[in-house]
Structures are given as C-alpha cells and as structure tokens.
Structure 1
Amino acid sequence: MAVTLDPKLLDVLACPSEDHAPLRTGTPDDPEADALTCTECGRVFRVEDGVPVLLLDEATGPAAG
C-alpha cells in the first residue's frame, strides 16, 4: 500500500538530518511501500497508520549506519 499524505504536508516534510532534504514516498526498491525516503542521504523512514516516523535512530537505509 502506498503512502497517502496530504500533498501540502509532503511539501513541508524534510529529512531530520543536517541536510534537511525533501522526502519522497516509497523506497528505492518499492515505490509503493509505506515509507518516506530522503532525496539526499537515502534514509528510509517508515509510516505507521499514516504518521511518518521521522526519527534518525529509527531510520533504515544507506546513511543509517
């Protein structure tokens, strides 16, 4: 199931890392995943019940360490 967020909300959400880059829906492997991916660092943040979990400690992906 794809993430369904208000487009206005998606416009203002940004990665919580230092670069504060925009987020896009899905993951690199699955554009329909319930997640948001940073366009700069590649971290993936899950979306639970329509609420993005934008915590660096909970992120997965290339820059998650």
Structure 2
Amino acid sequence: MGLYISSPRSAEEIDRRFSEPGLLVVNPERKVQIIDISNAPFARPDLEGIMEAVKFIQEKQYPIRGTLA
C-alpha cells in the first residue's frame, strides 16, 4: 500500500514495528480516488475535509488526478 513503516522510539511506545498513517478513498468503480500517506503520526488527514472532498467528487464527477507518468 506504500505506507511508511517505523520502529518504536522506546519500549513504552509499542513493542514492534508499525505503519504510519495512511488513507485510501476507493470510488464506486473500485479505483483509488484519493491517497493520503504520511511519515509522521501527527500528520493525519482531516476526516471532515476528506468527507467534503468525497461529496464534491461525487456531485461533480471529478476525475482521478495524478495519473500522468
């Protein structure tokens, strides 16, 4: 999924590797419409903003972006 993997900073934090935050929004055609991947725990996406974006995408039939190689 392309998530960043981190080791714990201390034994109090957690006892194993873990993934940093990531969010994938899949549209009704089962294609990934939005990707938000972070390499830090405090850079999580704003879920209210994401929900507004999803509504906009659905209402305006907004295309998937960033597909040029």
TM over 0.5: no
TM-score (normalised: structure 2): 0.23
TM-score (norm 1): 0.23
